[in-house]
Amino acid sequence: MLARVLGAALSLTRVGFGAAYLARPGPAGRGWIGRVARDPAAQVAMRGLGARDLALGAGGLWALGRGDEIAARRWLTGQALADGADVFSTLVARRRLPAAGFRFALAMAGGSTAVAVASAALLARGDDAHRP
């Protein structure tokens, strides 16, 4: 039950972030990358990030809603990989990011990575418990 709640909360949050990055990439991205988020070229990448998050979150919610633990684990693993890439990218660019944006992104992406990994692992344990 905990894995499903954590996975659903993470996926729902991801859908929200994804929708914000798609609809309003400048204001939504400013908290992470600063004023450069106003640049239309940066907004291309922010919209791509938004589409990624919307798809990963919707996929996770779909699989969890169907009770398909195998598919849910796959979607959550994808979320963990995406968030891990965000952690890495944020660390690499830390000198060019606003301090508050760096801390916020690192906390969000790091926390999301941990939740996705934990949820996928808990689902795997639950799935294994049902096997003969």
Average pLDDT of the residues of the chain: 94
Rg for the chain (alpha carbons), in Å? Answer: 16
pTM of the model: 0.90
The amino acid at residue 65 is G
Task: Report pLDDT for 126.
Answer: 81
Residue with the larger pLDDT of the pair 36 and 128? 36
Q: What is the mean pLDDT of residues 53-82?
A: 97
Angle at 101 between CA 28 and CA 3, to 5 degrees: 75
Q: How many angstroms separate the CA atoms of 95 and 12, rounded?
A: 31
Instruction: Label residue 116 exposed, middle or buried (CB < 10 Å: 0-12, 13-18, 19+).
Output: buried
What is the Cα–Cα distance from 120 to 78, expressed in whole angstroms? 10
> By the 8 A CB rule, do 28 and 16 touch?
no
Q: Specify whether the CB–CB gap between 117 and 80 falls below 8 A.
A: yes
DSSP 93: T
Q: Supply the pLDDT for residue 127.
A: 53
